[in-house]
Structure 1
Amino acid sequence: MSIYQGNIRKMRVATNNEHLAQYQLPVGEQLIEMNPLISTQIKVSFDNQIHCVHCQSLTKKSFNQGYCYRCLMKLAQCDTCIIKPELCHYDAGTCREPSWGEANCLNHHYVYLANTGTIKVGITRHVHDNVSSRWIDQGATQAMAIMRVQNRLTSGLVESALKGFIADKTNWRTMLKSQPGTTNLQQLKVELLTQIEDQLDEIIDEYGFQAIEILDLPAVDIYYPVAQYPDKVKSINLDKDLNFSGVLQGIKGQYWLLDGDRVINMRKYSGYSLNIETAE
């Protein structure tokens, strides 16, 4: 048996050569290798302490997956434009942290299609070897980058155009219930680009030919360490259920899947101080 104690962060993700998602959970200064724990017993208890993931201060309530209220209100990474990039206001001179915006928003972004149980559009800053960690965080079983754009604002404008024809949200309950069927993302890309051709032309007219680059990349299949999917989804709430234990039946997205159809979004509890006992 192993025991870990400390404030957790969102699980670190990667894929191996077979595109199987690999997970590590940061707990204090330690990392738990999660894949080997599938089908084993795990026990978790929350000690009623939450520390902001940015300033480390003790907070009674967590906002936006780990921030205290003060950081929620002052950090650029917590501003509304992070959720709605088409509202980026850097050029207006009102960015909360201009240096952060320059480092994170004024660089290339990718627009992608993903299968998370339903087909969705999204944006990400990084695609490495045709895979983005964001796709794994969302539990996508297929994904494909379709455009590279000049900055976050442009990515939001393109995403907004695509939202007229395709969803931009992941239905987490659908994502967790089963392995979805496959979709021809290449064909869908062609159809969608035709549908938003006029909007793309408007963006290029305003921001220049370098604003948008259509990519010709293959779709990627992603697999998850899941021994058994839940028939129903019963969400564990650490603020109400301070302790839980059971067999870890799988991990998908940022969720643990436990026996009894129970699931928990570990990213939601970033900054929570937990005691975790594992069988290994």
Structure 2
Amino acid sequence: MSIRMAGLLRKMAAHATLRPSGNIHDVSYDLRLDEQRQPLTSWLGQRIELAFSGRIFCCNCGRQTRQSFSQGYCYPCFSKLAACDRCMMSPELCHYAQGTCREPQWAEEVCFRPHFVYLANSSGIKVGITREGQVPVRWLDQGAVQGMCIARVSSRRLSGLIESRLRQHVPDKTNWRTMLKGQNPDLDLGEAARPLVALLQETGVDDSDGAGIEWLLPQPLQFEYPVLQYPVKVASLNPEKTPVVSGRLLGIKGQYLILDSGVINLRKYNSYELSVALHDD
């Protein structure tokens, strides 16, 4: 049996299902092309082929563009949208109060809503932030095997201020090669979080007196990914250099497909036009 799809690539949809006993969640993924979805977990061990047409379209305005910016935008949208402003990557640099926000109404709907500050184990311990409602999807997109929220705050800027303080003690990046090798020893996130929370409670968070912060220390969540075999050496596949990417699907972790021919980060190619063939042989 074979399945064929074609359209514009979107970020894979990730799902976590709690096992009947214990605290482990099994992760599954859906491949997304435009509005089409295809569950991928059942295709582990089978052949997959991704053929990129060479055409890229903006995920916001839909115009064709020669180059993608910020994972799917054309340059004009990248230059004007608040979602592409530098404060989205560094929320502590929020300039809404100065009256220079690119889209104030958008910011009020997105940035001035509850956010979580978290610790996760992706390639080791890391700190990060995400909007309320994005847990645990944010961790699944990063390939984290453990995740725990340590604070719920009233705005994106406040979460950024906390993250900025904590990154002096904990990394805020994932080593994607280490993550894809499956080298994730279990960590005691609660033990790691307690002194960090105590430090912030004692010293405060820059211009915040603690208002709008709810400190949390829940039980960490654990995740197991659909992987038959992790690569010993990680070789990245680039469809801009090799338009047809194919191989046997050995696993899915984060937004990466692990093939016997290499790995490909699908999120990097958001809004690229491609066709996909899945072969059950």
TM-score category, normalised to shorter length: over 0.9
1:269, CA displacement in angstroms?
0.4
Alignment of 1:119-268 (within 5 A): 119-127=125-133, 131-200=135-204, 202-205=206-209, 209-260=210-261, 262-268=262-268
1:199, CA displacement in angstroms?
3.8
- Relative to its length, the structure with more strand (as a share) is 2
Residue identity matched to 1:154: L
1:179, CA displacement in angstroms?
4.1
The match for 1:74 is 80
1:203 and 1:137 map into 2 onto residues whose CA distance is 31
Identify unmatched segments of 5+ residues in structure 1. none
1:201, CA displacement in angstroms?
5.6
1:210, CA displacement in angstroms?
3.0
The match for 1:84 is 90
CA spacing shift, 1:202–1:273, aligned 2, 3 Å? closer
1:162 and 1:25 map into 2 onto residues whose CA distance is 34
TM-score of the pair, normalised by structure 1:
0.94
2:255 and 2:205 map into 1 onto residues whose CA distance is 37
The match for 2:269 is 269
2:229 and 2:194 map into 1 onto residues whose CA distance is 35
Residue identity matched to 2:94: C
1:126 and 1:14 map into 2 onto residues whose CA distance is 16
CA spacing shift, 1:186–1:30, aligned 2, 3 Å? same
> Does the residue aligned with 2:274 lie in a helix, a strand or coil?
strand
1:136 and 1:268 map into 2 onto residues whose CA distance is 16
1:17 and 1:148 map into 2 onto residues whose CA distance is 23
1:17, CA displacement in angstroms?
2.3
Contact 2:47 2:278 (C-alpha < 8 Å) held by counterparts: yes
1:255, CA displacement in angstroms?
0.3
Flag as ranges the 4+ runs of structure 1 deviating above 3 A.
Answer: 195-199, 201-204
Contact 2:148 2:217 (C-alpha < 8 Å) held by counterparts: no
The match for 1:100 is 106
Contact 1:146 1:189 (C-alpha < 8 Å) held by counterparts: yes
The match for 2:43 is 37
1:44 and 1:27 map into 2 onto residues whose CA distance is 12
> Does the residue aligned with 2:264 lie in a helix, a strand or coil?
strand
1:74, CA displacement in angstroms?
0.6
TM-score of the pair, normalised by structure 2:
0.94
> Does the residue aligned with 1:170 lie in a helix, a strand or coil?
coil
2:258 and 2:279 map into 1 onto residues whose CA distance is 16
Is residue 278 from structure 1 mapped to residue 278 from structure 2 by the alignment? Answer: yes
Residue identity matched to 1:144: M
Query: Percent of aligned pairs with the same residue?
Result: 45
1:195 and 1:120 map into 2 onto residues whose CA distance is 17
Contact 2:165 2:205 (C-alpha < 8 Å) held by counterparts: no
1:98 and 1:276 map into 2 onto residues whose CA distance is 39
> Does the residue aligned with 1:167 lie in a helix, a strand or coil?
coil
1:202, CA displacement in angstroms?
4.5
